Structure 1
């Protein structure tokens, strides 16, 4: 076990792959049911890698004060074993993935705190459904494994420091160097690409226009932009343009002097002055009245503002981030938004993807909201049934992340209102989610979820995704890693798992095309050769799928 962990320290592996391989190795070594690696973020623990836990577990934030077992593990430097008869509630009760959907309680638990450079970083936990899995020898072996694991975490955090030296240079906390405190949860390609793009543009002072549907979380992305910018130590001022009455908008934005209007009894600075040196976030900017748009344009063009009722000009130094759910380009053509202001604000437009395009991020976010409601309502445990998971993945989410949050909160309250006990592990079935989902297709022609096709493509021939946890449909890790090292790709076997590709070394391009070809073939097989359904399942544009298939020799 230690040899495999040590080998990963010197291999050129992506950070997420290195940590995920580590938890898989630990789980295989101890033959237990679940392993979790948790990083301490303020007063909470967050899973950064897991094996054997329910799909939504990675989105959960465990407040240490609410979980005495976690508090006990973090308070000690040596491994901590909990007697099966312990009265301390287990935070993973109902979260072990038994492949059948029943909320199984944990019976045997072992954990240990992890330290990086002498500071508490987080913890590793091992859980089993069979009593007696972790004997005294297991605790000694965990202590040895923890030393190697801590080294792996330090390598991972060092790599992040090298990539983000400017943002993290002032931090001496190894936890903050690993955890992104932005609360933007997601590992889908769409969200990963977006976060990378935002981190690049954050370093400039260019105005950014965030575009996206209602409920996608535009304010969170704006705050991330500010936090990663050169102005991060200055204020970020939020202005909800939709809530500004036209009669007060000028005063709110630019300030006023005493006597400027009835009720102006004192001089008052506006939002531009409050944001001096920092960021001004104009939320729902498309709702601004045309008269205010003209004055805002002058402020942006000249870098000067004038308080209402004053003669003098005040120099401004702010970075503008604007957001809207409207199509401002169409609004300018219709005369509802000034074209010159639109071009001034949209120097760098960023489209935030709707939730329905983010695949298994839906379950990651659901886990976050499940844990929040478990704590808020004082429940022993709260999880989704497998049918509930499928309902969430099938729904179109017109209200996006905000709607998902409300759906989970409402469903938990419904269970309690129907007599469910707070002392039980509560499971949310589809009927309490109350989602308007179209009726299922004709039997035998059901369209698979994108995650199911992905899992099928990831699993090698002859191995069902449900047969081996390595290929299980888990958020964050849908398939065994494809390791890229010096231009050569090969599958990275974990324990006794079968590789996706031949273990012989392949050129990178050939390995990539082989994986793409396998994914498309499995998608077509799962959809009875329906190319349109396969494209939706693979989250590709239909025309792009046909082009790729021709390139790969499948057409």
Structure 2
């Protein structure tokens, strides 16, 4: 390789160090320059976060690869690269599985790929391992010779400077935005295996900007969005980026609390306050002292409970049930709901003063259908989780499956996608292992469109029917066909009638057991009970 070619690739990167560039653009230029120096079909930059490696930039890999997080202990090649501390290359016939098998974009239409050339190098900043720079090629022997290793080792120093600059620019930007706020002291979002908000669509980048902004304050936050969009992840991100990050994050599902226990759960009680109160107990507010309290499904709280919460939201003062003693708590409140609380106020189901004390800073989580190609990034994350859980060598989506995921409107949002991927992995595995578990599992498993859903469910359905459709075959044999239910009715009434039939049939099959019916219908028990209440089905 000529020195002029090296200089042509490196000089612009050195100049970039002094430029104000976004982190994404800075890292994109870094990887593009590396591919001009070394004949790689794919390059990736992965950041070390505890025992995980998280991709922060990729070039030449399929989109879903960016959503994967690799546990170092489960990927021997990545572990060896970290342990080596310098550039190293694996033999083309190495038996060690490669985390990118089947994920190189050029190979998507060529079927599974097992043998290729790969090399990598540790990036160090401040004397510590920051992460890895990896290169993969489709043909064996692409990186032969010592020159490739020497060039990668030299390039890694510039790469380390680039990522350090990107982080420093980001820190300065955040400090300028939050100049008067204390710095967060907790772990970074996504550390220690915790799920994080994935995606780079404009909608999700806007949400992340608002999260960073409000996290630095102590304002109450109201998170709204459709079911399954990931409102709890947003609450966790706000807490993790706040000055309270090293204090407790206490969560409570308001919909799952019986009315007679809400006050005790939130405020605590003293011994003898009610039958069964055998000892004094702190409530959720006291448990969250100096931390954050997350009120999920806050729209389900009754009007009397809302009135009792007003005082603690305003002044931090509360009384345990059965006690006259005042307790003072310092709690940041984050609430979430899939309801339109302004409509609830107008309908008289929510107090206006309670709503305004919650909705100091609203955050709206966008539905998955508004997040462009984030669908594939999220799918990659769920694929890696399933690969780890089932101890598979590798998982990939073929091109038809990728296109199908992008076409579907996802009425159930991210939660529906997660369940779809988990189901597809099991179906693909059973198709590959027809004789049961005794057969050797494949080194790499490809998921096709046929694994994502049954042929009857391939066409998107109205959101109200999408979640219930897979259960139609489980309904009682005497149930009427859906077509007779919707005759002469509007769409909304038809959907409700169909949902009422499925819920009633499931409860009948399980002798009125809400827990068993919820498992069959793939719903949270509290959500099922709320749905039944809305449909006019009596709770026994």
TM over 0.5: yes
Provide the C-alpha distance between the structure 2 equivalents of 1:272 and 1:170, rounded to a whole number of angstroms. 21
SS of 1:98's partner is helix
- Indicate the SS of the match to 2:13: helix
- Change in Cα spacing, 1:172 to 1:414, as seen in structure 2 (3 Å) is closer
> Is residue 246 of structure 1 aligned with residue 259 of structure 2?
yes
Name the one with the larger helix percent: 2
Q: Give 2:33's aligned residue.
A: 25
The alpha carbon displacement at 1:424 in A equals 3.4
Q: Which residue of 2 aligns with 1:225?
A: 238
Give the whole-Å Cα distance in 2 for the aligned partners of 1:314 and 1:13: 50
Structure 2: gaps spanning 5 or more residues: 1-8, 434-439, 462-540
Assess, with a 3 A threshold, how the Cα gap between structure 1 residues 337 and 122 changes in structure 2: closer, same or farther. same
Post-superposition offset of 1:42: 1.0
Q: Is the 8 A contact 2:295 2:335 kept in 1?
A: yes
Which of 351, 361, 375 is 2:374 aligned to? 361
Shift of 1:378: 1.5
1:13-39 Cα deviation digits (max 9, x unpaired) = 211111111111111221221111111
- The 5 A counterparts of 1:85-484 are 85-98=93-106, 100-101=108-109, 102-135=111-144, 136-165=146-175, 183-420=196-433, 422-434=441-453, 436-438=457-459
Q: Which residue of 2 aligns with 1:50?
A: 58
TM-superposed CA distance for 1:93, in Å, is 0.8
Given that 1:253 and 1:272 are in contact with CA atoms closer than 8 Å, whether structure 2 keeps it comes out as: yes
Residues of 2 paired with 1:426 and 1:181: CA distance?
Answer: 26
Aligned equivalents of 2:191 and 2:303: distance in 1?
45
Query: Which piece of structure 1 moves more, 53-62 or 297-306?
Result: 297-306
User: Secondary structure of the residue that 1:45 maps to in structure 2?
Assistant: strand
Matches within 5 A, 1:506-525: none
Matched-pair contact (CA < 8 Å) for 1:34–1:96: yes
Task: Quote the offset at 1:328 in angstroms.
Answer: 1.3
* 1:484-505: CA deviation from partner (whole Å, max 9, x where unpaired): xxxxxxxxxxxxxxxxxxxxxx
The 1-side partners of 2:265 and 2:58 are apart by 48
Take 1:63 and 1:246, find their aligned partners in 2: how far apart are those partners?
43
Partner of 2:166, secondary structure, is helix
8 Å contact kept, 2:185–2:245: no
How many aligned residue pairs are there?
439
Unpaired runs of 5+ residues, structure 1, are 441-555
RMSD over equivalenced CA pairs, Å: 2.4
Q: CA deviation at 1:181?
A: 6.9
Deviation at residue 301 of structure 1 after TM alignment: 3.2
**Secondary structure at the residue paired with 1:56?**
helix
Distance 2:58 2:310 in 1: 50
Q: Which residue of 1 aligns with 2:45?
A: 37
1-structure distance, mates of 2:80, 2:460: 48
2-structure distance, mates of 1:172, 1:306: 30
Q: Structure 1 length normalisation: TM-score?
A: 0.75
Find the aligned partners of 1:259 and 1:172 in 2 and give their Cα distance: 39
Question: Is this contact kept in 1: 2:198–2:374, CA < 8 A?
Answer: yes
Post-superposition CA distance 1:489-524 (Å, at most 9, x none): xxxxxxxxxxxxxxxxxxxxxxxxxxxxxxxxxxxx
